[in-house]
Structure 1
Amino acid sequence: MTRLTEHLVVISFDCLSALDFSMLEELPNFKELLKNGSYCKNVETIYPSVTYPCHATIVTGKYPKNHGVINNTFIQPGRLSPDWYWFRHYIKSTTLYDEAKKKGMTTAALLWPVTGKANIDFNMPEIFANRPWHHQVAVSLRNGTPFYQLDMNYRYGHMRKGLNQPELDDFVLESTVQTIKTKKPNLLLVHFTDLDSQRHYHGFSSEQAMAAIKRHDIRLGRIFQALKESGIYENSTIIALGDHSALNHSQVIKPNVLLKEKGLIQVDKNGKVVNWNAYCKSCDGSAYIYVKDSSDSTTKETVTKLFLDLALDKRNGIERVFTSEEASSKGADPNCLFMIEATQGYYIKDVLDGEFLNEITEEDAESKVYTLASHGYSPEKENYGTVFMATGKGIKPNVVVPRMHLVDEGPTFARLLGLDLGNTDGEVVEELLNM
């Protein structure tokens, strides 16, 4: 298969929305990308539309049910901070970076989700210390490329303030620029989360979110400049994309509160979960409902009736109940009993305490108890698309793709590098490519 580019740079701006496109067109570096590039401002995301499944989809071209990363975090009832799908082995198929390595290409990834312990030459995985006895630097070093990360931390670690934004993305940017200049990878995957964080805690169209988009424009410009200074710009393809959009909400739904009241989640006198028959696993704008024992017909009937009844009253914030078959047809986990989709203005948490419904205050958002905007919703929601922009080697100039899907991105990237991802759910967007 003919290779169309020597260097592919994929920049994921987490939570970049189709609604942001008019603003991007006016910012200098995004404008520069679009001047000779091509784009789609109507990219359909996956279900559930949360970050880790989205990024696994981008590098595999598959839906969550087929690549195995069906949520951000695992079912760990009662844990305030469940473990995430941090590690490469959770992806059940090959990936773009696996195939690049097989062909002898140099690979690099900075905070790209689901890359812990991946076979990537220069790997700084997105992972955080999730136990009291863990230390952030040690956790990162153990699950990525140690000497590379030590070097980046030595140079730029002073810029970070834990996981706070925009400092974390500033650190990632400087590490990216250094990586381009010194490593010149054939495949570079970069994940920026500044915008996503600002939208969660300040709202979709907040001043903080708009400021983050402007910071992203500066970051894009720095990456362009690094490619030019390293002498590889003319042989590079630059992709800027979003993984999902977000929607504002003012109320939070807590289904596990009801499941606990009905005795389907059992806790001890200290509130610790000791057993469960049914559990709601949140995806923010949607949620999986699971039963522990698939042969427990009584629990299945009880839980199904409970949520179908709740959905009859729109004040409960449940827009729709999807059967496991319907959820699977959308690409979600077929092992759930069903999925619930939140009505716009609501989102779902899998906590067990408090009221079933809670109004969200600004104090809640400031203390990060709840958020003011979320993703995870069905891609069928109105104004919920994301974007894809491409320029450089192998990309036709000034092509506007009317519509594409997140699953199409991986096969398209593979085609640019002359790779094959095998049996994917998406297809190469050939109208973009200069073949």
Structure 2
Amino acid sequence: MARLTNHLIVVSFDCLSALDFPVLKELPHFKEFLARGSYCTQVKSIYPSVTYPCHTSIITGNYPKRHGIVNNTLIQPGRTSPDWYWHRKHIKGTTLYDEAKKAGMKTAALLWPVTARANIDYHMPEIFANRSWHHQIPVSLFNGSMLYQLDMNRRFGHLRNGLNQPELDDFVLESAVHTIKMKKPELMLIHLVDLDSQRHYHGFSSNEAMDAIRRHDVRLGRIVDALKESGIYDQSTLIALGDHSALDESKAVKLNVLLQKNGLIQVNEKGLVTHWKAYCKSCDGSAYIYLNEPSDSNTKEVVGKLLQNLLQDESNGIEKVYSQEEAASMGADDKCAFMVEARLGFYIKENLDGAFIDPISKRDVREKRYTFASHGYSPEKDNYKTIFMAAGNGIRQNTVVPSMNLVDEGPTFARLLGLNLGETDGRVIEELIIDFEK
């Protein structure tokens, strides 16, 4: 298979929505980028549409059921801060960066989800210090390229303010620019989270979110400049994409409160889970319901009735209840007992305490207990598409793809690099590609 580009740079602007396109096309660097490339503003995400499953679908071409990253976080009932699917070992099958390495390509990844301990040459993984005795920098160092990360922290660490935004993206950007100039990777994956953070804590159309989009425009310009200054601009393909959109919310649904009330979760005097028969695992706009014993048909029947009863009253915040088989057919985890979709204006939390429905206050958001906007909803929701934009080697100019799926991106990237991800759920977006062999 012919290789169509020498350098593929993929920039994920987390939470970039199709609704942002009218703004993007008027910003100077996005405008210039779009003028020399092609795009799709109707990219259908996956279910659940949360960051870690989305980014794994992007680089595998498969849905969560198949690649194994079915949520952001692991099932750890009662933990206030569950561990995330940080590590490459959780992914089933191959990835774009695995195939690039097999082909002898130089690879780089900056905060790309689910890459901890991956075989990537210049690697700063997204992984958090999730224990009181952990420190962020050592945790990152031991799960990525140690010498590379030490160099980036020495050069640009002064820009960081913990995990806070926009400082974290500023640090990632400077690291990316330096890496492009000095290392000239053949595959580079960059994950920027500024917009996602602002939408969570200020709302979808907030001034803070719009400011983040303008900062992203400057960041895109800096990456283009780095490609030019490194001398590889004419040999490169640049991708700018979103992984999911977001929807505003004003109430949180706590299904575990209902399950506990019905004797399906037991807690001790400190509120810690001691035993559970059924548990709600949040994906924000949706949730999985798992059984401790998957073969426990009596518990499954009880839970099914409780969930169906919630559908009788819209104020309960539940729009749909999917069976295990229905969830699997949409690409979600086939090991759940049920999957639940929240109504507009609601999202789902794992909390075990308090009322079943919590109104969200500014104080709650300020203290980061709740958010004003979330994702994780069904990709079938209205006004919930994301964006894909591409320019450079192997990409046609001025082509508008009417619609595509998030899982189509990985196979398309593989085609540009002359690689093969094998049989995937997605397809190569042939209408975007210039293949001189045809």
TM-score greater than 0.5 by the shorter chain: yes
Structure 2 residue runs of 5 or longer lacking an equivalent are none
Q: In 1, Cα distance between the equivalents of 2:353 and 2:33?
A: 48
Please state how far the C-alpha of 1:141 moved relative to its aligned partner. 0.4
Q: In 1, Cα distance between the equivalents of 2:222 and 2:267?
A: 52
Please state how far the C-alpha of 1:295 moved relative to its aligned partner. 2.0
Q: In 1, Cα distance between the equivalents of 2:200 and 2:135?
A: 26
Aligned to 1:163: 163
Q: In 2, Cα distance between the equivalents of 1:142 and 1:107?
A: 18
Q: In 2, Cα distance between the equivalents of 1:178 and 1:367?
A: 35
Please state how far the C-alpha of 1:415 moved relative to its aligned partner. 0.1
| CA displacement, residues 130-154 of structure 1 (integer Å, 9 cap, x when unaligned) | 0111111110000000000000000
Q: Which moved more, 1:290-299 or 1:407-416?
A: 290-299
In the alignment, residue 215 of structure 1 is paired with which amino acid? R
Please state how far the C-alpha of 1:174 moved relative to its aligned partner. 0.2
Aligned to 1:274: 274
| CA displacement, residues 184-206 of structure 1 (integer Å, 9 cap, x when unaligned) | 00000000000000000000000
Aligned to 1:68: 68
Counterparts of 1:201-220 in structure 2 under 5 Å? Answer: 201-220=201-220
Please state how far the C-alpha of 1:36 moved relative to its aligned partner. 1.2
Q: In 2, Cα distance between the equivalents of 1:333 and 1:103?
A: 32
Aligned to 1:371: 371
Paired residue secondary structure (1:312) = coil
Aligned to 2:51: 51
Q: In 1, Cα distance between the equivalents of 2:290 and 2:147?
A: 42
| CA displacement, residues 50-91 of structure 1 (integer Å, 9 cap, x when unaligned) | 000000000000000000000000110110100000000111
Aligned to 1:140: 140
Paired residue secondary structure (2:165) = coil
Aligned to 2:312: 312
In the alignment, residue 223 of structure 2 is paired with which amino acid? I
Aligned to 2:6: 6
Q: In 1, Cα distance between the equivalents of 2:383 and 2:210?
A: 17
Please state how far the C-alpha of 1:364 moved relative to its aligned partner. 1.0
Q: In 1, Cα distance between the equivalents of 2:170 and 2:183?
A: 19
Q: In 2, Cα distance between the equivalents of 1:223 and 1:430?
A: 26
Aligned to 2:89: 89
Q: In 2, Cα distance between the equivalents of 1:366 and 1:271?
A: 24
Counterparts of 1:1-400 in structure 2 under 5 Å? Answer: 1-400=1-400
Paired residue secondary structure (1:368) = coil
Q: In 2, Cα distance between the equivalents of 1:431 and 1:310?
A: 45
Paired residue secondary structure (1:143) = coil
Paired residue secondary structure (2:208) = helix
In the alignment, residue 4 of structure 1 is paired with which amino acid? L
Q: In 2, Cα distance between the equivalents of 1:294 and 1:94?
A: 28
- Normalising by structure 1, what TM-score? 1.00
Please state how far the C-alpha of 1:263 moved relative to its aligned partner. 1.4
Please state how far the C-alpha of 1:250 moved relative to its aligned partner. 0.3
Please state how far the C-alpha of 1:121 moved relative to its aligned partner. 0.3
| CA displacement, residues 179-237 of structure 1 (integer Å, 9 cap, x when unaligned) | 00010000000000000000000000000000000000000000000000000000000
Q: In 1, Cα distance between the equivalents of 2:36 and 2:22?
A: 17
Q: Which moved more, 1:360-369 or 1:401-410?
A: 360-369
Paired residue secondary structure (2:8) = strand
Q: In 2, Cα distance between the equivalents of 1:269 and 1:22?
A: 53
In the alignment, residue 395 of structure 2 is paired with which amino acid? I
Aligned to 1:409: 409
Paired residue secondary structure (1:9) = strand
Q: In 1, Cα distance between the equivalents of 2:272 and 2:361?
A: 27
| CA displacement, residues 269-304 of structure 1 (integer Å, 9 cap, x when unaligned) | 111111100000000000000111122122111111
Q: Which runs of 4+ in 1 moved over 2 A?
A: none
Paired residue secondary structure (1:144) = coil
Structure 1 residue runs of 5 or longer lacking an equivalent are none
In the alignment, residue 248 of structure 2 is paired with which amino acid? N
Paired residue secondary structure (2:5) = coil
Q: In 1, Cα distance between the equivalents of 2:237 and 2:185?
A: 12
In the alignment, residue 77 of structure 2 is paired with which amino acid? P
CA RMSD of aligned residues (A): 0.5
Aligned to 1:431: 431
Q: In 1, Cα distance between the equivalents of 2:311 and 2:161?
A: 42
Paired residue secondary structure (2:311) = helix
| CA displacement, residues 343-376 of structure 1 (integer Å, 9 cap, x when unaligned) | 0000000111110001111111111110000000
Q: In 2, Cα distance between the equivalents of 1:410 and 1:298?
A: 41
- Kindly tell me the number of residue pairs found equivalent between the two proteins: 435
